[in-house]
Amino acid sequence: MSAPRPVVPRAAPDPRILDALSNLDPITARLFAARGVIGPEELDYTLARLAPVSLLENVDAAVDLLIAKRRSRITIVGDFDVDGATSAALLMRCLRDFGFTDVGYLVPNRFEFGYGLTPEIVRIAAESSPALLVTVDNGISSLAGVEEANGLGIPVLITDHHLPGSELPDAAVIVNPNLPGSSFPSHNLAGVGVAFYLMAALGRRLENEGLKGAARVPSQYLDLVALGTVADVVPLDHNNRVLVDQGLRRIRAGKTVAGIEALLRQSGRQLAKATSADLGFVAGPRINAAGRLEDISIGIECLLTDDMNTALHHAAILDGINSKRREIESTMREQAFAYVVGMDASNLPACVCVYEESWHQGVVGLIAARVKERCHRPAIAFARESDALLKGSARSIPGVHARDLLEAVHAVDADVIVKFGGHAMAAGLTIEEARYDRFRRLVSEQLERLYPSADFSGAIVSDGALPEAALNLDFARRLREAGPWGAGFPEPVWSGDFEVIEQRTVGENHLKLRVRPADGGNALDAIAFNQAGPAYRGVVQLAYRLDVNEYRGFESAQLVVEQIAPIRAPGA
């Protein structure tokens, strides 16, 4: 059994901020203050609190371009993940509702064409003679693709949120909150968030031109925006929390697209109680699986249909693909962990790279995430892309910027990486297989140079101990409703000492416990996923989330345990 990870307290909030949140109970006020909330207005998730559409650079020029092509063929070029799928579905639905007469979408198959607007995809798109190509969740690095489109006389409108490189593509218009010099208040928009802002600007323009109700159309699809935003794991700043909260409200009210309802129903979730976790861990992975293993188009079609029977059919297919993805991932994970175990545990590289020739390139991102979680440091997993090339996916830890790290490697040796792109926490790259060993060495060297104080301890950040009076169903419900929780706005994790009353293994590898606070109080149920193994007796330290457990229509408070650390045996 590996040593427990350290449990460290979250930084104490400024007392002045606590005063500003004095309308809340002390525990909740401390939670929000510790997550950067500075006043009650940042807990207001009404649409009026969204950053103004007019502040997003180039959005008016993009609207001009769309209106100019409204009666011509427009092809949306998407990406093969949930953010790309929801972005494509959002644009398809909105443009059709706005009366655009000829709109279609095209998503490159990752195994045939790779990511983004490549010249090959442009040539395929050109076969339907589009008057405009619109990228969603990609395009900012597609210099060659845009050049190909320009050569064919097809203008390109790029909507993206990925960080740009040193050179921008020569597109007709680029809408991206991360363009150099952008003053837009939320640089954390997902691709679907950028698409929503564009559609909101277009709806307002069309409303002003006499199309009644156009301004309200995009908000009808905030469920799609919420799904894509949560699934892409972008930081939930205030602007993104507004988008996600409003989308969840539509889902809970039953005002969601048939595809999202079908995905949640197919997984046994209730619309009325949907949370951001349901989007990130239930609906999202099923759509992602299609893009990882086959073709994301089935996921997009699931989100486009208004017929529930069709949506349920698509959802069942997606569930089957996801089951296959889990099987593939399980085998790859065992191989990756075996490789890690073979490393010198006392001298792990700063960035752990793993590669196996037989691995599925659509699943390497998940393997990188699992290795990162196990080793508590950035990880990159590779699979074969072609005879000479490897496809890699990187996952990082707080404080280490994944894309900047790859940029640093590229600056040292421009030949070692063929191409790369991404975010702070995740990035993708292609390298020559012959340069794999050199890349492994360089990426760790650059990480140590850029981030000498990087924390590889895997510390669990705790919001402190919950008083016994808060360990109940009422407070668990209040925590659930206090969200949306997610990246950059994490769900509360608590820590405390508990006496183990009983335990048993459930499922394949889960530990079900009955515990009570060590200093006295009522007993509670607890579940520790994937932590079956040793028998715990006496008092243990738990790091946990307080959640609502639902079983056969009955709700109860339950501790979802992140870690169990023994303290003392009975009678000690």
> 241-300, pLDDT tens digit by residue?
999 999 999 999 999 999 999 999 999 999 999 999 999 999 999 999 999 998 999 999
- For 183, other C-beta atoms within 10 Å of its C-beta total 9
Residue type at position 529: F
- Residue closest to 236 by CA, chosen among 250, 223, 249, 226: 226
Range 121-142 average pLDDT: 97
More confident residue, 503 or 532: 503
CA of residue 431 relative to chain centroid, distance: 25
Per residue in 22-80, pLDDT tens? 999 999 999 999 999 999 999 999 999 999 999 999 999 999 999 999 999 999 999 98
Model confidence at 114, pLDDT cuts 50, 70, 90, reads: confident
Report residue 569's pLDDT band, with 50, 70 and 90 as the boundaries: low
Contact 85, 157 (CB under 8 A): no
d(C-alpha 464, C-alpha 542), whole Å: 11
Angle, CA of 306, 312 and 317, to the nearest 5°? 120
| pLDDT the model gives residue 572 | 52
Higher pLDDT, 315 or 572: 315
Report the chain's mean pLDDT, rounded to a whole number: 95
pLDDT at 344: 75
Query: Do the Cβ atoms of 546 and 471 come closer than 8 Å?
Result: yes
**To 10 degrees, the CA torsion angle through 168, 170, 176, 178?**
10
> In terms of Cα–Cα distance, which of 65, 55, 109 is closest to 84?
109
Residue 394 scores a pLDDT above 70 = yes
- Asked if 520 contacts 468 with a C-beta cutoff of 8 angstroms, the reply is yes
**Mean pLDDT across 385-407:** 95
Q: Of 3.20.20.70, 3.90.1260.10, 3.40.50.720, 3.90.1640.30, which CATH number belongs to 56-319? A: 3.90.1640.30
d(CA 369, CA 427): 11
Whether cis (ω within 30° of 0) applies to the bond prior to 285 is no
Mean predicted confidence (pLDDT) in 166-184 = 97
User: How confident is the model at residue 508, as a pLDDT?
Assistant: 79
As a whole number, mean pLDDT of residues 147-154 equals 98
What type of residue is 135? T
Nearest 5 degrees, angle CA 34-CA 52-CA 234?
45
Which of 1-15, 239-253, 471-485, 506-520 has the lowest average pLDDT?
Answer: 1-15
Give Dmax (Cα) for the chain.
Answer: 81
Amino acid at 208: N
CA angle 332–336–341, rounded 5-degree value = 150
Hey, do 7-35+460-568 and 343-450 end up sharing a CATH topology, with the first three levels equal? no
Whole-angstrom distance, CA of residue 282 vs CA of residue 301: 18
Residue 255 is predicted with a pLDDT of 97
Q: Find which of 323-332, 419-428, 561-570 is predicted with most confidence, using mean pLDDT.
A: 323-332
Domain boundaries, the chain: 7-35+460-568, 56-319, 343-450
Regarding the domain delimited by 343-450, which CATH topology (the fold level of the hierarchy) does it fall under? Diaminopimelate Epimerase; Chain A, domain 1 (3.10.310)
Q: How far apart are CA 195 and CA 122, in angstroms?
A: 20
398-406 average pLDDT score: 95
* pLDDT given at position 551: 83
Question: For residues 117 and 156, is the Cβ–Cβ distance under 8 A?
Answer: yes
Measured CA to CA, the distance from residue 406 to residue 562 in angstroms comes to 31
Report the CATH fold assignment for 7-35+460-568.
Answer: OB fold (Dihydrolipoamide Acetyltransferase, E2P) (2.40.50)
Token look-up 């490393």 returns 343
221-239 residue pLDDT tens: 999 999 999 999 999 999 9
